[in-house]
């Protein structure tokens, strides 16, 4: 078996809340592996800790109010990123690990041309001259499908559409051919036809450059179409982890199950009138209640107050990640006591 490119173990990133009144345990003991060349989907709703996880990997957490707890461990190609000197970290960040963000319009610097912004990383990390870096920038713009790259290189971000800005962001991230690209909701701000273009572009570049991608998203449709494996987060923890086909065929955590059932489906049969389940005004499944606050996660299983199957044990004993079978040990893991007592999974919600 190949060695993981990235190994995250027991990552805890906490924030001191305003006025020092409490501690938000945004990421609270997250572990997962990412293998070379694969696409890992990190899924969850607002506040589940998926973005904080990705920022922690690059040590971009503002300190204070945030801090990564001692005992956390993030290993990239055998080196613990959390103990690297900032000099060594800079050699990795933007070079071997690159990141793209949700808001392409605000993530680019408005006072520099896109060419300058793409060239910067090549100058800093690879020691290219200005002239070489500019040629590289044009090459990158060509690669990400910007029309007229030789002219586009001198444009400013405000002259580009949202989709074009995201292509520029991708060009910036990939200029040093990183081994790992972290994409945090890369298409959330874009229209659906542009989203399709960007996802296709990412898939093509991943195949061409052989990099691993960590795709952070709330959209289960995007995960289904692009990821090899999926990590589902809830309340600062990993609640389920499985190969994509397995997760969608056999969602075992009640949160994953509820989340999948809440999505209105374009592929559901259109029922005429109001009688059918998939047609107009059929009820969607919804998860009752709301995500708890990060300063006060519930005791026991953090999902138990919203869980349709919860029983006594769930309220007191936090479940560990349990092996759910279906392959080698650790292939499909679930943080739920139902694994030990499957008979309690009564009528599916």
Partner 1 sequence: MTTPLVDVQGLVKHFPGERGLFGLGAPRRVVRAVDGVSFAIAPGQTLGLVGESGCGKSTVGRSILRLIEPDAGRVTLDGTDVLATGARALRALRRRMQIVFQDPYGSLNPRMSVRQTLAEPVVLHRLAAGADVPKRIASLLGEVGLDPAFADAYPHQLSGGQRQRVGIARALSVEPQFLVLDEPVSALDVSVQAQVLNLLAELQRKRRLTYLFIAHDLAVVKHIADHVAVMYLGRIVEQAPVSGLYAGPRHPYTRSLLSAIPVPDPTAQRLRIALTGDVPSPAAPPPGCPFHPRCPHPKKNDRCRTERPSLREVTPGQLAACHFAEDPM
Catalog residues that contact partner 1 under the rule CB under 8 A: 45-46, 161-164, 191-197, 199-200, 218-225, 244-245, 248-249, 258-260, 262-268, 270, 272, 278-287, 290-291
CB of 42 to partner 1, least distance (A): 15
Neighbouring C-beta atoms of residue 192, cutoff 10 Å: 7
Retrieve residue 270's tokens: 């259109």
CB of 91 to partner 1, least distance (A): 36
CB of 122 to partner 1, least distance (A): 27
Q: Classify burial at 194, counting beta carbons within 10 Å of its beta carbon; exposed 0-12, middle 13-18, buried 19 or more.
A: middle
Angle at which helices 114-126 and 162-174 cross, to 10°: 10
If the CB atoms of residues 198 and 339 are measured against partner 1, the closer one turns out to be 198
CB of 286 to partner 1, least distance (A): 4
Residues sharing a CB contact under 8 Å with residue 102, sequence separation 6 or more, in sequence order: 184, 185, 186, 188, 189
CB of 301 to partner 1, least distance (A): 17
Does residue 63 contact residue 254 with C-beta atoms inside 8 Å?
Answer: no
If the CB atoms of residues 177 and 265 are measured against partner 1, the closer one turns out to be 265
If the CB atoms of residues 57 and 239 are measured against partner 1, the closer one turns out to be 239
Dist. CA 50–CA 45, nearest whole Å: 8
If the CB atoms of residues 279 and 318 are measured against partner 1, the closer one turns out to be 279
Dist. CA 152–CA 246, nearest whole Å: 43
If the CB atoms of residues 228 and 323 are measured against partner 1, the closer one turns out to be 228
Say whether 139 sits in a helix, a strand or coil.
helix
Please name every residue paired with 217 in a beta bridge, in sequence order, or none if there are none.
43
Angle at which helices 130-143 and 114-126 cross, to 10°: 120
Say whether 209 sits in a helix, a strand or coil.
helix
If the CB atoms of residues 21 and 281 are measured against partner 1, the closer one turns out to be 281
CB of 238 to partner 1, least distance (A): 18
């Amino acid at each position: 078996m190949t060695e993981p490119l990235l190994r995250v173990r027991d990552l805890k990133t906490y924030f001191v809340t305003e006025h020092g009144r409490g501690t938000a345990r945004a990421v609270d003991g997250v572990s997962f592996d990412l293998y070379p060349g694969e696409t890992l989907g990190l899924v969850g709703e607002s506040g589940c800790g998926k973005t904080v996880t990705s920022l922690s990997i690059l040590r971009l957490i503002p300190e204070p109010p945030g801090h990564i707890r001692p005992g956390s461990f993030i290993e990239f190609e055998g080196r613990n990123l959390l103990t690297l000197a900032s000099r060594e970290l800079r050699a990795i960040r933007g070079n071997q690990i690159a990141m793209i963000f949700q808001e392409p319009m605000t993530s680019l610097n408005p006072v520099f041309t896109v060419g300058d912004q793409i060239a910067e990383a090549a100058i800093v990390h690879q020691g290219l001259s200005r002239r070489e870096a500019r040629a590289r920038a044009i090459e990158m713009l060509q690669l990400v499908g910007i029309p007229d790259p030789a002219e586009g290189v001198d444009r400013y971000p405000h002259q580009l559409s949202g989709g074009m800005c995201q292509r520029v962001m991708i060009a910036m991230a990939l200029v040093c051919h990183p081994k790992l690209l972290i994409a945090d909701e890369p298409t959330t701000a874009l229209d659906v036809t542009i989203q399709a273009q960007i996802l296709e572009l990412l898939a093509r570049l991943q195949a061409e450059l052989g990099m691993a991608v960590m795709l952070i998203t709330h959209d289960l449709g995007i995960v289904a179409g692009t990821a090899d494996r999926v990590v589902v987060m809830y309340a600062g923890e990993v609640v389920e982890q499985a190969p994509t086909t397995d997760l969608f065929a056999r969602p075992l955590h009640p949160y994953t199950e509820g989340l999948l059932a809440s999505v209105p489906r374009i592929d559901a049969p259109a029922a005429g009138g109001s009688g059918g389940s998939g047609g107009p005004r059929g009820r969607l499944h919804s998860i009752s209640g709301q995500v708890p606050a990060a300063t006060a996660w519930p005791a026991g299983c953090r999902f138990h107050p919203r869980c349709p199957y919860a029983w006594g044990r769930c309220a007191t004993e936090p479940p560990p990640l349990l092996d759910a079978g279906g392959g080698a040990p650790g292939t499909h893991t679930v943080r739920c006591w139902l694994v030990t007592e499957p008979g309690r999974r009564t009528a599916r919600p």
